[in-house]
A and B are shown apart, each in its own frame.
Chain A
Amino acid sequence: MEEASLSPSRPGTPGREGDTPLEPPTVVRFDDVSKVYNGATTKAVDGVSLDIRAGEFFSILGPSGSGKTSCLRMIAGFEQPSSGRILLDGVDVQGIPPYRRDVNTVFQNYALFPHMSIEANVSYPLRMHRVAKHEIDERVSETLALVEMEELRKRFPHQLSGGQRQRAALARALVGRPKVLLLDEPLGALDLQLRQQMQLALKQLQRDVGITFVYVTHDQGEALSMSDRMAVMSTGHIEQVGTPREVYFHPNTPFVAGFIGKANLGRGTVVLESGATVGHWGGISFPMAADTPLGPCAFSLRHESVSLSDGAGDIAVRGTVEEVVFLGDSSEVMVAVDGVTLVAKAPAHIGFALSNGQAITVSFKASEVVRIDG
């Protein structure tokens, strides 16, 4: 912070100093940030602390109303925190207007200027920063090439399809080479196929340009497939921060377990039985790691971790089929086992072969059962 305040110019690109090669420096830091909107009684953002590192693709995932967009808007400078601090590159940005922050946003509705051609839209940030004319031309062409929009540069926004507008908005936000790119559900308005295509393109783009992306979404698929790390938010606070794999396989809270993917959730206990740590979930018992805390807890087991054959896991239990739900590419089979209903994800053809009330053996790996506090 001190160095930054000494030199009026922007500090050098982070991540090149090489002080800690394993952990790049923090670009965006939330320091116990809360936000209460005027006239609101509850906090939209409630005590969020978060470090976003240079060059990473960071997603903030949560249902609507979880405060994720508020967090993004506070980074951009459209909203001010009610308490706490936000640091961009180590500098407290309280009171710094959006146009003096080295951060650009891709808006949900793209917010392309309707009276300007795509070219004029993309050159806008450069013109506002009074970049030299020849450099503007060069960088606009370069950036439009990056998003494969060179041929459409003379068009106006209303002459473009949703996907093209999306790419134009991306180009406009990237052309100024901001330290951080903020994306507010940028794929929300696109249809499914285009969305999946854009997911890949976005991830690739982020790797190519090396700019830190902060991506807000309510779509777990997007967050899981693109992020280096992600935060899961609910009712204004952060439930868990981690890599997609950590968040998916080791949810910290029942909310995360329930929100991401589909999981069997239930209450049980962990006890010590003749030297071994054992979990009890209804009538099902299974060994747990020796360092697992004892006492009542919640358990989570992913649908796809439950198998309908007895050989697939180390724990096999007998139960009866309660219901089979056909999902197209797969089936969800609900099996009643000793007071617990376990849902298994099975190939569709296996689901077809089952009937309600039929006895069946299901199995799972004890190591895939996650113990959750609360």
Chain B
Amino acid sequence: MTSPEVSVAPAGVISMESALRVIRSLFAWAGFIAVYLFLYTPLVTIGIFAFNDSTVQALPWSGFTLQWFGAIGQNGLLFSALTFGLSVSLLVVAVASVVGTYFAVVVNSATGAAPRVLLAAVIIPAIVPGMVLGLSLAITFRLVGIPAGLWSIVIGHLAFTVPVVTLVVLTRLRRLDPSLTQASMDLGANGWRTFWHVTFPQLRTAILAAALLTLTLSFDEVVITFFLAGTQQTLPLFIWSQTRFGFTPEINAIVTIIGAVSIVLIVIATRVIEREVDPFAGTGRKRRSRRGR
């Protein structure tokens, strides 16, 4: 706020300029706020209606209630979609964490051109449009005879979550000091024991972060799941099918819960990734790069 002092000196030009500057900054702020309104209004809206004591999803506000949260348990179809979706996601998290970590270790230890090829081969399924991946998996499963259901969805989700785990863990692996593995081998540990005692403990938080990310990705995936689901729907599929008939407020409630939980999980995941970068690497990495010269 230096404009008043500035306008004291040569009057006309400067004050015009400062007025323009104020208008420009107002527009900048308005645009900035509009973006956030655009992003958050729907989220807030659904949250508000989750607590609104009325079956009609419209204003005016007719009083605060928690009944829609209680109603989740009573709605059998909604509840089974929730538990089915959770079991899919937990299976996906378990398998993707192990397989993704394994891929990351393999890619990291390969030499020459192999890492690039391996990595690309792992990542492509995550980049391919969900529609293509979902349809091709559905056709393949039908040919091979895998029935639509829990396992078909799990396999479909693994196709795009394993790359995520691989990338997160690989990033961490590449930041590890290679002399630590050498030191371990030097001190009498073979490859496996070195991984178990030295490498894995330093990957734990990266794997945890990747698992949290995988959980949120898998839990609300729609496109691939749509192609692979049988009669039992996952939660997002169920909600989507309900919207066609005009959905009930308990859906607002469950979406609010899921939104809140995913925000918490994502915050934890990013915190874990960030903290991971900090404590050990801070001094060690700097020193390493200095030596590198």
Contact = CB atoms under 8 A, between A and B. Distances in A.
Nearest to A128: B188
B283 interface: yes
Interface residues of A, number: 26
Given A109-B288, A114-B284, A115-B201, A129 B183 contact: no
Given A124-B197, A158-B280, A111 B179 contact: yes
A172 interface: yes
Contact of A98 (B177, B179, B185, B287): B185
A173 B291 CA distance: 22
Contact of A111 (B180, B190, B279, B280): B180
Interface in A29-81: 76-78
Interface in B169-185: 177, 179-180, 182-185
B179 A113 contact: no
Interface in A133-174: 158, 172-173
Given A99-B189, A113-B183, A114-B180, 12 more contacts: A97-B190, A98-B185, A107-B183, A108-B179, A109-B177, A109-B287, A109-B288, A111-B179, A114-B284, A125-B188, A128-B189, A158-B283
B187 interface: yes
A99 B185 CA distance: 5
A129 B188 contact: yes
Most buried by A among B186, B198, B283: B186
Contact of B186 (A76, A129, A158, A189): A76
Contacts of A99: 185-190
Contacts of B284: 109, 114
A279 interface: no
A54 B279 CA distance: 41
B279 A158 contact: yes
A98 B188 CA distance: 7
A97 B184 CA distance: 12
A161 to B, nearest CB: 11
A109 B291 contact: yes
A104 interface: yes
A105 interface: yes
Interface string A106-130: 0111011111000000001100110
Contacts of A129: 188
B177 A111 contact: yes
A373 to B, nearest CB: 35
B216 interface: no
Nearest to A101: B186
A46 to B, nearest CB: 24
- Which label, helix, strand, loop or mixed, suits the secondary structure of the B interface? helix
A103 B288 CA distance: 24
A368 B18 CA distance: 82
Interface in B237-293: 279-280, 283-284, 287-288, 291
B193 interface: yes
A319 interface: no
B91 to A, nearest CB: 29
A236 interface: no
A78 B187 contact: no
Most buried by B among A104, A107, A113, A172: A113
B57 interface: no
23 contacts: A78-B186, A97-B185, A97-B190, A98-B186, A99-B188, A99-B190, A103-B186, A105-B183, A107-B182, A107-B183, A108-B179, A109-B179, A112-B183, A113-B198, A114-B180, A114-B284, A115-B201, A115-B202, A124-B197, A125-B187, A128-B184, A128-B187, A128-B197
B202 A114 contact: yes
A115 B202 CA distance: 7
Given A78-B182, A113-B183, A158-B280, A108 B291 contact: yes
Interface string B187-208: 1111001000110011000000
Contact of A104 (B180, B187, B197, B291): B187
Contacts of A105: 182-183, 186
Most buried by B among A105, A114, A158, A172: A114
Contacts of B291: 108-109
B254 to A, nearest CB: 40
Interface string A264-302: 000000000000000000000000000000000000000
Identify the 10 closest CB pairs spanning chains A and B, nearest first. Answer: A128-B188, A111-B183, A125-B187, A114-B280, A111-B179, A98-B185, A128-B189, A115-B201, A105-B186, A99-B188
A173 B182 CA distance: 13
Nearest to B197: A124
Contacts of B283: 158
A176 B186 CA distance: 11
A108 B177 CA distance: 12
A373 B288 CA distance: 41
A114 B288 CA distance: 15
A124 B291 CA distance: 26
Contacts of B188: 99, 125, 128-129, 176
Contacts of B189: 99, 124, 128
A176 B273 CA distance: 36
